[in-house]
Structure 1
Amino acid sequence: MAGDRHRPPPPQVAVVMVPLPAQGHLNQLLHLSRLIAAYSIPVHYVSTAAHLRQAKLRLHGWHPATVHFHDFPIPKFESPIPDPNAAIKFPSHLQPLFRTAASHLRQPLAALVRRLALSSRRVAVIHDSVMSSAVQDVAAVPNAECYTFHPISAFCAFWYFYDSLQKPFPVDNVDAQLVPSLQDCFPSEFLDLVQSEQIHLRSSSGNLFNSCRITEGPFLDLIDKLFEHENQLKCWALGPFNPVVINPPENGSRHACLKWLDGQAPKSVVYVSFGTTVSLPEEQIAAVAAGLEESGLKFVWALRDADRGELEMDCGNGRIKDLKLGFSERGILVRDWAPQLEILRHPAIGGFLSHCGWNSCTESLSAGVAVAAWPMHSDQPRNAVLMTEVLKVGVVARDWAERREIVPAGRVSAALRRLMEDEALRRRAEEVGVSVRDAVLREGGATRREMDAFVTHIRR
């Protein structure tokens, strides 16, 4: 028909993102969606309606207008209250969500991929490594392929693979004795889930990391070495996924904590956040509060309870809001969602007391902000080693060996003063930040080259 001459040609490739429905995982693949969409590639982001809403509400630094969102229903699941006093801090209360999402997203996701495959030369499905079963039907679509996203550092991924393969060669990059064991990092139920999901990784066409060769090049090379005789799968380091340049909101509104920071001296404020998956015991909250007071430092503290699996339910922040902490005017509490990217990039911020979740690590590295490491669970103890011992952009606030103890106020205060007073440490963090931003922004930068190569590959 004559009108067909005016129709745009079908896209050469469409990309489908399949995150695990937990904030740290949703956030990473949403940021990667921005990077891939910038190549004029249609990106389809899949999750439940509640988790899509969460991911978009908590997003800052850019607007997701270029991403196509698909909300698929899942049945009701158990959503227990997070336990602040649990011996293992891993968010076991999210386990029913993980299992339900992996099994019930499979069918609608397969239908979406088949539909996209009819109008695209190729469909590239990028999925969280713990959502592999949800994408198992993609292998049956002739012009579709899957890429496994590992939502952890290359450092953590290497040591996990290295141990599982019985340490096939010696490693000179770091003293293996510094690398914590996985004891108390995960409950057995989650490890069983990971093992069951790995069965479906056999059809993967490659591995993606939210990492940068500037910071983790040696460990990415070691991962390549581990698998060079196994499956020849290529690894791409496309990070940091988060924006390294923050655009002001279109409506001109800014969070109250940013306005407060505007009135503080450069590098004078410490930012405190322990992430979205752990509820601290009240005794520990009180000790952190007393340590902040004792340190004499100005601070912004993002203080809230852990997310629940059923997001529509009360997450327990009423417990936090009722705490009487007796702060002076030197600090500000953020009890809602904190705009962490903007906080870390603010010139008043001089350090970050962090649980060392991988999102927080990549954001602090790209912002050039040194950390005081307080790991809680999962990959965080090993990320803490990466930040403090390998990259040397942080100090230890809570040693992993003391994970079951309440950290007293004096130790909190001492760690914060060490973080804020060590000029060499902060210079080192700033230098790393410059290098990471250069890798992303400069034509020919390490991350820019890697992203170009990945896009060329999926467009082949």
Structure 2
Amino acid sequence: MDAHAPPRSPASDGGHGDGDGDTKKPHVLVVPYPAQGHMLPLLDLVALLAARGLALAVAVTPGNVPLLAPLLASCPPSSVATVTLPFPAASASGLLPAGCGENTKDLPGHLFRPFMASLAALRAPLLAWCKAQRRRRRRVTAVVSDMFTGWTQPLAAELGVPHVTFSASGAHYLAVSHSLWRRLPRRRCPDEAVSFQDVPGSPTFRWSHLSWLYRTYVAGDEVSEAIRQFFLWNLESSCFVANSFTAIEAAYVDRPLPDLMEKKVFAVGPLSDAVGRCTDRGGKPAVAPARVAAWLDAFDDGSVLYVCFGTQQALSPAQAASLAGALGRSAAPFVWAARGGTPVPGGFEAATAARGMVIRGWAPQVEILRHRAVGWFLTHCGWNSVLEAVAAGVAMLAWPMSADQFTNAWLLAEAGVAVAVAEGADAVPDAGQMADAIASAIGNGGASVRQRAAELGRSTAAAVAEGGSSSVDLEELVSILSSPKLTN
């Protein structure tokens, strides 16, 4: 089957050709986690590996096949194939309701954990596909999978091939999250501190700032134990790959868990920059990038605040009112991407029309951040947004809300490129205090942070350039995946 043709169910042919050369070529199986923030950077990595001569097969369920279209169109012919597996909604575990979505963007929050656990049911059909390829002399020589799909490690072990864990977040989060699942610190009150003595720098976080994926763990619960096992399996991987770069978190790239993870962490990011992608791929923007750019052209360099909290975080009416009040009082020019049904207060847009733009829906975020007029980004600190801001040399006002965002905000503060303004998904910050923080940042009070952000932005460009740290790590990863030791 041609790699660009519609795949068959339950599993499609790898589609790399029939020549003897192809049978001797390393074939890498890639298993993404079906969430936009996880899947897109891993597909960027696939594109980079394909461009360097590797043959790859990406395993997805039918509902996620359309996300592969841009990848297949941009890669060398027959270098990337699709393996389509039936979605396990009707699995024996019965963890998910029939007809639920196949990507987290289509799921309510309470189904995220059972969704993650249910995907382990893909192991059997995926193993059958791998064995079929072996019979056709196209055997899989390595498995690269998302850190949320740790169930692929025993699959790789059964095949006798290396397993590589991919982190869509940074190496710091990789270390903190795996430390949690290994040590299982006890449940605590929200404000009690949890120390990570096994992580470089021994950071401390409040219990409420730890990943909800861990905080909802219940010993003996089927879903909880399955998720824990995925993370423990990750620790048996041959190496790790992070969508990050050395300049922002060198200590965690070098030795993320000194007493356990003595394995190489390849920091190959930001992957979107490494592939040369300077535009968003998440959907059709609600406002054309050219229109936003033309509006921004009227403002001085670094004078505009961009506000966005990702694709899945809708502000409550009280939060939206507080933010609107802060933007109104600060007098700073702004672009507010009010996604996810965030209720913008009535009359706000008219009152701030001379210096503000509200975008309802998907905003061209990459283009906005790279405009010379944008100097600050009020963000939830999701890692993809963080990398886009860092690459653009834009300083951040941090309002972490969940998942890895608290540890990301801590890392940004340590790097000197972010200032905290609020924390928590339910927090309603004081409008006056936030207005003061915005005004100070846009004014001279934020000059040193902006300078550090600009320096880090230059480091980002250097990292992905030829000879840079991320480029060198990528080439070493390619060498390992291409090694004859993996194909004998």
TM-score (norm: length of structure 1): 0.79
Q: 2:396 maps to what in 1? A: 371
1:451 matched to 2:478: no
Superposition pairs for residues 174-185 of structure 1, below 5 Å?
Answer: 174=201, 176-177=203-204, 179-181=205-207, 185=211
3-state SS of paired residue (1:430): helix
1:34 matched to 2:58: no
Q: 2:37 maps to what in 1? A: 24
Q: 1:107 maps to what in 2? A: 124
1:359 matched to 2:384: yes
Q: 1:188 aligns with which of 216, 223, 226?
A: 216
3-state SS of paired residue (2:408): helix
Q: 2:452 aligns with which of 418, 421, 428?
A: 428
The structure showing larger relative contact order (alpha-carbon pairs under 8 Å, at least 6 residues apart) is 1
Letter in 1 for 2:451: R
Distance 1:254 1:152, change over 3 A: closer
1:235 matched to 2:281: no
Q: Is the 8 A contact 1:393 1:425 kept in 2?
A: yes
1:9 matched to 2:21: yes
Higher mean displacement: 104-113 or 292-301? 104-113
Distance 1:197 1:121, change over 3 A: closer
Superposition pairs for residues 123-202 of structure 1, below 5 Å?
Answer: 123-134=141-152, 136-142=154-160, 144-162=161-179, 164=182, 174=201, 176-177=203-204, 179-181=205-207, 185-186=211-212, 187-189=215-217, 192-201=225-234
Q: Is the 8 A contact 2:28 2:144 kept in 1?
A: yes
Letter in 2 for 1:18: V
Q: Encode CA deviations 1:276-307: one digit per residue, 9 max, x unaligned.
A: 332321211121122122222222222222xx
Structure 1 distance, partners of 2:279, 2:37, is: 23
3-state SS of paired residue (2:451): helix
Q: 2:258 aligns with which of 225, 228, 231?
A: 225
Distance 1:260 1:120, change over 3 A: farther
3-state SS of paired residue (2:394): coil
Distance 1:394 1:321, change over 3 A: closer
Aligned length: 416
Structure 2 distance, partners of 1:238, 1:150, is: 11
- How far residue 458 of structure 1 moved from its aligned partner, in angstroms, is 1.0
Structure 2 distance, partners of 1:168, 1:274, is: 28
Q: 1:417 aligns with which of 430, 439, 454?
A: 439
Letter in 1 for 2:49: I
- How far residue 370 of structure 1 moved from its aligned partner, in angstroms, is 0.8
Q: Encode CA deviations 1:60-111: one digit per residue, 9 max, x unaligned.
A: xx9645554444331544459xxxxxxxxx94343343233x1343234324
Letter in 1 for 2:267: A
- How far residue 383 of structure 1 moved from its aligned partner, in angstroms, is 0.9
1:94 matched to 2:112: yes
Q: Is the 8 A contact 2:57 2:81 kept in 1?
A: yes
Q: Is the 8 A contact 1:26 1:55 kept in 2?
A: no
Distance 1:170 1:349, change over 3 A: same
Letter in 2 for 1:342: E
3-state SS of paired residue (1:453): helix
TM-score (norm: length of structure 2): 0.75
Structure 2 distance, partners of 1:45, 1:362, is: 24
Structure 2 distance, partners of 1:373, 1:193, is: 32
Distance 1:122 1:19, change over 3 A: closer
Structure 2: unaligned runs, 5 residues or longer: 1-17, 90-95, 102-107, 186-194, 218-222, 281-287, 484-488
Structure 1 distance, partners of 2:258, 2:210, is: 29
3-state SS of paired residue (1:211): coil
- How far residue 56 of structure 1 moved from its aligned partner, in angstroms, is 6.1
Q: 1:215 maps to what in 2? A: 248
Identity %: 28
